[in-house]
Structure 1
Amino acid sequence: ETQVEVSGHSWNVYRYAADYLHDGAVVTLLAQVWCQRTVAGLSRRTQFLYLLVFISRYLDLFYHPQHLYLVVHKLFFIGTTLLALLGFLAWRGTYEGDKDTSSSWLIIGAALLVSFFSTGEDTLLHVMWTFSQILEGFAMVPQYVFCYRADAAGEAEERRGVRVYIVAMGLYRFCYVLNFVHKKSKVAAYRDPHSWTFGAVNFFLFLDYVLYRVAGMSCLRWLTLGLDDGAHRVSSELQQRL
């Protein structure tokens, strides 16, 4: 009964605003890549993480009949992310790999471990859905690290298209936070700890990025770069031993 009540309140203005902001972010990203024929300023690892997010989350396309709106959006996000990654192949000469240094496999591995040990149900569909929620919480980290490294190297701020993409993705997550609050206010028994926790993580990482760009202050910039450098040192040592 609670699930039915929650579903009834899922279609609200915050949900639609989030979806359309996400749509706009993706269109901006593709315009940046395919119209300007460059992937400069963009993290390939972030796009790879988002592809995993969408594929693992939308496995239900094969199992449940769904509203056309959902089907179109799910296929849109998978397809456009593939197009973005194809852009990295087409314009690989413009890719700045020296700044795209985050360990995506470490993020994926940690998300998998947490999803397996924190999922109440043992169905593959539910585990993969939980994995996607956790992974999305950190999917933008490689893009932030990319921007922080570019700034540390004394380079100019991001291209306008890249900046619009980052801001739109942050606002999309903010609207989903409002969506969670709205549903909780309508249905007291509503619980979705994975979405709440990692949605908040995603949004606070975005807030820190905005604070850095606006005021030059960052609580997490040093942490993200420090963890990224540390992860690469560990990875390099392991590769040398193997």
Structure 2
Amino acid sequence: MNLFRLTGDMMHLFSILVILLKIRATKSCRGISLKTQELYALVFVCRYLDLLYSFVSVYNSVMKVTFLATAFSIIRYMRYDKVVRQTYDREQDTFRYGFLVAPCFVLALLINHKFTLTEVLWTFSIYLEAVAILPQLVLMQRTQNIDNLTAHYVALLGGYRALYIVNWVYRYFTERHYKQWIVWISGLIQTAIYADFFYFYTIAWKSNKRLQLPA
């Protein structure tokens, strides 16, 4: 494992821990999109099915289990905790994620490396992850209720994806058979989605002001 992937993994993990910290410390999930959290849970379930039949390393297995456990923990808090769920922006978090799930699944059926159940589901998770942040970005744009922890959460996710692109470039030149164009294209699309957010995030950080996204 190279440094770029390791750092990207840690940023991904920290992004999730930031959300859990926010929920547990403030007893509030205001500004967090349940739709995005459920999409990420679906991504992890489809991608990590290999936990049932394959072992790569202890690190690999621990990280996968951690992502699954934390994703479902966030959903549990937002849906079932009596205090936390009252702070959920239900009326604003209305992005119809069926418009993301269905096209990604059809695309996975049509464009994949190998037409098997596990490979199609893995490919579906790659496509879906590229757009899973959209409900969160839309919610932030609608409410303008963007506290620092939520902004840092999205920034860490974007940083994780950017570092993974560097990781793929590194692996392309150092691993002879590493050519996964589906991952590359999806990763570039995902990073592009974050571009607008990072522009306003950087401005807010430099001016030491609260993040505001254009309506």
How high is the TM-score relative to the length of structure 1?
Answer: 0.80
Aligned pairs for 1:1-242 within 5 A: 11-89=1-79, 90=81, 91-151=84-144, 156=145, 158-187=146-175, 189-214=177-202
| In structure 2, distance between residues paired with 1:210 and 1:17 | 19
- Deviation string, structure 1 residues 5-30 (Cα, Å, up to 9, x no partner): xxxxxx10001001111111111110
The alignment-based identity, stated in percent, is 27
Q: CA deviation at 1:190?
A: 2.8
One-letter amino acid matched to 2:110: F
Note the aligned Cα RMSD (angstroms).
1.7
8 Å CA contact retained: 1:101, 1:145: no
| In structure 2, distance between residues paired with 1:186 and 1:117 | 30
Q: CA deviation at 1:214?
A: 4.3
| In structure 1, distance between residues paired with 2:201 and 2:22 | 21
Q: CA deviation at 1:170?
A: 0.6
Which has the larger Rg?
1
8 Å CA contact retained: 2:55, 2:61: no
5+ residue gaps in structure 2? 205-212
8 Å CA contact retained: 1:58, 1:74: yes
User: Which range moves more in the overlay, 86-95 or 184-193?
Assistant: 184-193
| In structure 2, distance between residues paired with 1:71 and 1:148 | 36
8 Å CA contact retained: 2:151, 2:201: no
Q: CA deviation at 1:123?
A: 1.1
| In structure 1, distance between residues paired with 2:113 and 2:25 | 45
5+ residue gaps in structure 1? 1-10, 226-242
One-letter amino acid matched to 2:70: T
Aligned residues: 204
One-letter amino acid matched to 1:150: T
- Deviation string, structure 1 residues 137-161 (Cα, Å, up to 9, x no partner): 001111101111113xxxx5x1111
One-letter amino acid matched to 1:42: I
